[in-house]
Structure 1
Amino acid sequence: MKKGFKLLSLSLVLVLIVAGLAGCGMKSPTEQPAKEEAKQEGTTTEPEITLVYAEVNPLDTIVGQTGTAFKEKVEELSGGKIKIDIQASGVLGAENDVLDAMLGGGGTIDMSRISAFALTPYGGEKSKLLSIPYTFVNREHFWNFATSDLAPEFLLEPHENGSGVRGLFYGEEGFRHFFTTKEVKGIEDLKGMKLRVSNDPVMNGLVQGLGASPTVVSFGELYSALQTGVVDGAEQPIANYKSNAFQEVAPNMILDGHTLGAVQVVITDEAWDKLTEEQQNILVEAGKYASEFNRKISEEAENKVLEGLKADGINIVEVKDIAPWQEAVKGVIETETAKHKDLYQKIVDMK
């Protein structure tokens, strides 16, 4: 009798222990394989991550809108598990400052939209070819390149050179033109002017070829530099000129279209390597979407801004004959393409 009672008591205790484990949220040994199986099948949820994205220009610009399109598509495809935190209007610094921060590590900036030529000192030597004066005859010419087999080679060059960043996708912000505080009617009027440049060999050569004086000023200080006479002019795409209110201090623009504003969105290798393959694919897919979005809106947005500037009385000068401009900068074109002459010719021939 006592023996039977002891067996019954032991059974009750075991039942109570199992029930207690379940009530506390603990898994019994038989449940563990099921969890591991689910993990192997990829049914576990990814942790939420936030990627900080730097943008020098305001969100209402072509590149700002492109960044927003990328953000929205990433968050849609990831079900909100990947968030893109866009820090716009240069709050994280100029493009070179941003790239320095990205390459310095620490994860303060994960992604950025940058001008292709800004990558030259960061292992993107080939990308310099995209900013050579008068390379692209029109937007279609650029997009022929951006959708070609050559494009990925340019995007991945900094990563392959060990710089610590890689390109995700291309975009453009329109042709770049000179704008000045003084009236300019033609190429001859630029002679002797102090024109703002970033410290870039191609832009320095361009300005010198036109007979002007290249003057390095950070983008964040450009408005005041124009206002106080530190520089007489600068160059930007039309939409950026308007969004940064440069027309208030430099109300003259000559449409020479010396460079198409080719841009890349880049991500640090540090941030990329922390992503799962699925998350990386989401960024790539969103990049394709944002690139196509950029292609659709760029020209229309630029034309709308240009008409608004004309209506506001800004002095807009059309260049009817681009040949003298091309001849003036022939030297910098030859010098800066010498290392990749054949590759540059491939780009030229894509028109």
Structure 2
Amino acid sequence: MKISRRLLLAAGATLPLAAPTILRAQARELRLGILTPTGHPWNNAALRVADELKAETSGRLTMTVFHAGQLGSEAAMLQQMQSGALDMGWIMAAELGSRVPSIAAITAPYVVDSTDKIAKLVRHPVALSLFDVLPRETGTVGLAWGITGMRAVFSAREISSIADLKGMKLRINPTPAYRDFYQLLGAAPTPIPTPQVFDAMTNGQVDGLEADLEFSWNQRFDKVSKTILMMNAIFMPVIALASGRVWQALPAADKDLITKVVKKQLDRQIDELAANEPKLVAQFKAASIPVKTANPADAAAVVAEYDKIWLPKAPVLAELRKVGKTL
């Protein structure tokens, strides 16, 4: 078949138009939601992910980070990821654990007893295997863990041991895994919005706060505390999630790159937090607040009762405890 010069010119004329169309189809702007405020280590890690993705792809993949709950609560962000309206979200284990007991298991008391061990635990295959249920249970894909350090009780009255928590009105994270532990210790979990806790401790509405050291230093809860009791019992991790719907549509190479970059930056966050914890403890001690350390043996009976509640719901807790003893 003879092709006319006119047809060749017509076909050639379409190529410059088609090529940019292909390039535009490959470009993508990702949207990531996170509850914590600007400047938080998790947020900083998310911004580094955005910068690295842009650099690695020469601008083809970009990411906008929506800080401080701009896209709503974590529950709302999960719904958006399930529908595909939100590409990624960094969601705390408290929110996920209230829906998926096996995720809550990692926040059980005394799985590990130091921040250095947290850093090792969240990189262990057993902890990473907890992500396996997420596509089915939440419609999301887990990419990596981020962490906070071990949590402490900031008390508005003088305390010295776990026994002194009995009867205290404590503001704790309301996730069932935390609530069950502190109720078994005899404390009275008291729901107070985080921005109101400082005043609530000042006026006696609550007797204390259970929180991680970094958050508490930034909020200066030492100024309304008479004792800091290092529990070394529980911690609050975050999971970097991708929407299952969005993930399914991404090219394999983009999935690999996003996973690699997210893990790299959250590994950095984990290492930096673990290295910084001794400095935080020193800062609290320099503030002339007695810093005391709880004895895990004092909570042994409570942990046994706790496991009676949680092992039937999350059998993986037994495996996590075994891992924790080896770290």
Aligned partner of residue 150 in structure 2, secondary structure: strand
Correspondent of 2:134 among 155, 158, 167: 158
Q: Tell me: CA distance 1:340–1:74, structure 2 relative to 1, closer, same or farther (3 Å).
A: same
Q: Which deviates the most, 111-120 or 185-194? A: 111-120
Q: How many matched pairs?
A: 320
Unaligned runs of 5+ in 1: 1-13, 22-26
**8 Å Cα contact 1:169/1:264 also seen in 2:** yes
The structural deviation recorded for 1:134 is: 0.5
Contact 2:157 2:207 in 1 (8 A): yes
- Residue 217 of structure 2 is aligned to residue 279 of structure 1: no
Task: Return the alpha-carbon distance in structure 2 between the equivalents of residues 260 and 46 of structure 1.
Answer: 40
User: What is the CA–CA distance in structure 2 between the aligned matches of 1:141 and 1:197, rounded to whole Å?
Assistant: 22
C-alpha contact 1:176 1:258 (8 A) present in aligned 2: yes
Structure 1 residues 106, 318: closer, same or farther in 2, change over 3 A?
same
Alignment of 1:1-351 (within 5 A): 28-30=10-12, 46-59=26-39, 61-92=40-71, 95-96=74-75, 98-99=77-78, 102-103=81-82, 105=83, 107=85, 109-122=86-99, 124-139=100-115, 141-161=117-137, 163-250=138-225, 252-319=227-294, 321-341=295-315, 343-350=316-323, 351=326
Normalised TM-score (structure 1): 0.78
CA shift at 1:140, angstroms? 5.0
Runs of 5+ consecutive residues of structure 2 not aligned to the other structure: none
Give 1:340 shift. Answer: 3.5
What is the deviation of 1:33? 7.3
- In 2, Cα distance between the equivalents of 1:272 and 1:226? 44
- Percent identity over the alignment is 19
Matches of 2:163 and 2:182 in 1, distance apart?
12
Q: CA deviation at 1:77?
A: 2.2
Q: CA RMSD for the aligned pairs? A: 3.2
- Structure 1 or 2, whichever has the larger Rg, is 1
Looking at structure 2, the residues matched to 345 and 141 of structure 1 have their Cα atoms a distance apart, in angstroms, of 17
Write the distance in 2 (CA, Å) between the matches of 1:309 and 1:265. Answer: 30
SS in 2 for 1:235: strand
Q: Flag the 1:101–1:44 CA change in 2: closer, same or farther, 3 A.
A: closer
The C-alpha deviation readout for 1:75-133, integer Å capped at 9, x for no partner, is 33232333333333455555445445545x472x54332322321233x3211110110
CA contact (8 A) 2:53 2:258 kept: yes
Paired residue for 1:7?
none
Letter in structure 2 aligned against 1:133: P
The aligned amino acid for 1:168 is L
How far does residue 34 in structure 1 lie from its aligned partner after superposition? Answer: 9.2
CA drift at 1:193: 1.1
